[in-house]
Amino acid sequence: MNIIVCLKQVPDTESQIKIGPDGESIVTDDIKWVMNPYDEFGVEEALRLKEKHGGEVTVVSLGPKRVTESIRTALAMGADKGILISDDALEGSDALATAKAIAAAVKDLEYDIIFAGQRGVDDDQGLVGAAVAELLDIPQLSLIVKVETAEDGKTVKVERPIEGETLVIESSLPALITAQKGLNEPRYASLPGIMKAKKKPLEEKGLGDLGLDAAEFGTGARKLKILELIPPPARQAGKMVEGETPQDKAAELAKLLHDEAKVL
């Protein structure tokens, strides 16, 4: 079974995000970049299916040269090869343009399943996976927490939680699956895996290599435009509840909740 994993490199959630001088972007100078956490679930599930059925796992990502670090992490976990789509014209592309580039990179590859994270923790849009499936004209199964493939490798059965219940869906293959928390527990890369990752193939392709027109990418070609980034309001300082006894503190807390917070 051949599996493709779409991977995005995002700022570490512990990084301090600052809005750039243009008011439309973020300052990237001191950011630590990591693999998108939801994509980690996709990598892990792909590796488990490979261990069960055999085949290859190919990781596909898009972005500047630094993205190779995240691809190498996936290779160290056990993926077989990587593809980086890197081109200056991609800078500032929206989700649709990103999906066009990814779809062009994988359309001629042999694959049974494509995994993608259900969303990126940076833009938080959840659009690329669905757009890739549409462009490749294959079924999309979203927000999945369980994957079972048939022994003949022709169908897949998945589970998606909905409003306290579980939706079970069966689909023919190939299909694209977006992974979310609960699907699995991603493994750590072992030291031997890290050493092996350095020798695994990682191919870099530009838009010209994919037969794509650079004019359809970048900030100028965006369908979805960022008008302004606004930081969240600063949190108000907490308030200590005074009182000599627990009973006094409880009474004071109730008074504050009623008079100031207006929740009682």
Give pLDDT tens digits for 125-159.
999 999 999 999 999 999 999 999 998 889 999 99
Pairing of strands 33-35, 146-149: unpaired
Residues 161 and 206 in one domain: yes
- The yes-or-no verdict on residue 103 having pLDDT over 80 is yes
Residues 211 and 242 in one domain: no
Q: How many folded domains does the chain comprise?
A: 2
Q: What pTM value is reported for the model?
A: 0.86
DSSP string, 222-259: -SS------PPPPPPPP-PPP-SSHHHHHHHHHHHHHH
In this structure, is residue 14 part of a structural domain?
yes
Task: Give the chain's end-to-end CA distance (angstroms, integer).
Answer: 58
Give the C-alpha distances (Å, rounded to integers) separating 17 from 146, 154, 183, 216, 235. 33, 44, 29, 29, 16
In this structure, is residue 249 part of a structural domain?
yes
Which residues 6+ apart lie within 8 Å of 181 measured at CB? 37, 38, 41, 145
- The yes-or-no verdict on residue 178 having pLDDT over 90 is yes
In this structure, is residue 227 part of a structural domain?
no
- Provide the residue range defining the domain that includes 65: 3-221
Task: Return the CATH number at 75.
Answer: 3.40.50.620
Residues 60 and 168 in one domain: yes
Determine the Cα–Cα distance for residues 21 and 38; give it in Å rounded to an integer: 30
In this structure, is residue 226 part of a structural domain?
no
Question: pLDDT digit string (tens) for 78-98?
Answer: 999 999 999 999 999 999 999
Question: Is-contact 14 81, C-beta < 8 A?
Answer: no
Query: What is the average per-residue pLDDT within 243-251?
Result: 91
Residues 121 and 72 in one domain: yes
